[in-house]
Amino acid sequence: MALAELVEPGLMGLPAALATLTSAPARILGLGGGRIDVGEPADLLLFDPTARWTVDPERFETMGRNTPFAGKELPGVVETVLIAGQAIYGEGRFAPGRPPTALS
pTM of the model: 0.73
Determine the distance from the C-alpha atom of residue 13 to the mean position of all C-alpha atoms in its chain, rounded to a whole number. 17
Model pLDDT for residues 53-95, shown as the tens digit of each residue: 999 999 887 888 999 999 999 999 999 988 888 888 888 888 8
CATH architecture under which domain 42-104 falls: Roll (2.30)
* Of the listed ranges 27-31, 35-39, 71-75, 99-103, the one predicted with least confidence: 99-103
How is the chain split into domains, by residue range?
A: 1-31, 42-104
Q: Quick one: three-class SS letters along the chain?
A: CHHHHHHCCCCCCHHHHHHHHCHHHHHHCCCCCCCCCCCCCCCEEEEEEEEEEECCHHHCCCCCCCCCCCCCEEEEEEEEEEECCEEEEECCEECCCCCCCCCC
pLDDT at 101: 52
Q: What is the mean pLDDT of the chain?
A: 86
d(CA 42, CA 73): 30
